[in-house]
Amino acid sequence: MARKVVSRKAKAAEAEAAEKQATAKKKAKKKRASTRKSKKTAENVRLRLYWGVFSQNLKRVAVFEFDQKKEAEKRAVELSKGGKSPHFIQKVKEEIRLEGE
């Protein structure tokens, strides 16, 4: 059987056409995706940082101001004494509620 002779110019034109078609599809997808997204307005939320003393079950036992880390550590050690479950401290963020809102 004889092989069919293929023109290089025809193959190059075919490849270019396929490439253009692929880029057109990508642009169309990007346009559709950007119109679907709904813009959410960011609420101005203020957070305050505390030290929380937690039990092994992740139950918050006590809360201390952020500058009272030493007191929070003492409380965690005090609660861990006597063979009880270990307690630890961790940063806790809470929202601040302003009177005007």
At residue 65, the pLDDT reads 95
Gap between the terminal Cα atoms of the chain: 85
pLDDT of 44 reads 74
Mind listing the pLDDT tens digit for each residue in 71-81?
999 999 999 99
Residues forming beta bridges with residue 49, ordered by sequence position = 93
Residue 29 lies in a domain: no
CB neighbour burial string for 13-38, b if at least 16 within 10 angstroms, e if fewer: eeeeeeeeeeeeeeeeeeeeeeeeee
In a domain, 86, yes or no: yes
Domain that holds residue 70: 47-95
pTM over 0.75? The answer is no
* Number of domains the chain is built from: 1
